[in-house]
């Protein structure tokens, strides 16, 4: 009878142990949160990429633009909303509250596809695409 080489067994055990360590590693070490967050949320403050408008040709849906700076308070943020299926853009400036607290800007949107860009000191720090259908 031939015996199996021990190398294969050792390498299989090593691979299994490495996979087990990755599986139990805390998620904070795998992906650290970024300083800035920008999202579009619905009325329940759930992040969404698709909003349903009520029936009617001129119907609009309410959405909140949410921005968070996790490290500093009173951050001046330039937000621009661009309608991707038309040549329409609206920009405004908001100032965050305490570090880590969300700043909400409620806006009404007609049907269309949009992208929101948030800039701090001219640098793009967050963006979010969404559609109103």
Q: Hey, which residues does 117 pair with through a beta bridge?
A: 80, 127
Structure tokens that stand for 27 in this block: 């998620």
Structure tokens that stand for 61 in this block: 């849906």
- Spans of all domains in the chain: 33-132
Nearest one of 64, 62, 65 to 38, comparing CA atoms: 65
* pTM for this predicted structure: 0.74
pLDDT in tens, 20-37: 444 444 433 456 679 999
- Name the least confident of 11-25, 82-96, 109-123: 11-25
Q: Taking residues 69-82, what's their average pLDDT?
A: 98
- Calpha distance 103→93 (Å, rounded): 12
- Name the least confident of 14-18, 26-30, 75-79, 126-130: 26-30
Spelled out in words, what is the top-level CATH class assigned to the domain 33-132? mainly beta
- Calpha distance 64→46 (Å, rounded): 10
CA distances from 50 to 14, 53, 115 (A): 45, 10, 12
- Calpha distance 12→4 (Å, rounded): 13
Structure tokens that stand for 6 in this block: 């021990």
Rg (CA), the chain: 23
């Amino acid at each position: 009878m031939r015996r199996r080489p021990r190398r294969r067994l050792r390498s299989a055990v090593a691979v299994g142990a490495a996979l087990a360590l990755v599986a139990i590693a805390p998620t904070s070490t795998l992906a650290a949160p970024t300083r800035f967050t920008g999202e579009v949320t619905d009325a329940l403050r759930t992040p969404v990429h698709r909003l349903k408008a009520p029936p009617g040709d001129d119907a609009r849906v309410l959405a909140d633009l949410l921005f968070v700076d996790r490290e500093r308070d009173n951050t001046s943020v330039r937000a621009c909303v661009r309608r991707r299926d038309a040549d329409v853009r609206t920009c405004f400036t908001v100032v965050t509250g305490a570090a880590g607290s969300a700043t909400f800007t409620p806006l009404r949107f007609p049907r269309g596809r949009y992208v929101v860009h948030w800039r701090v000191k001219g640098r793009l720090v967050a963006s979010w695409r969404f559609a109103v259908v």
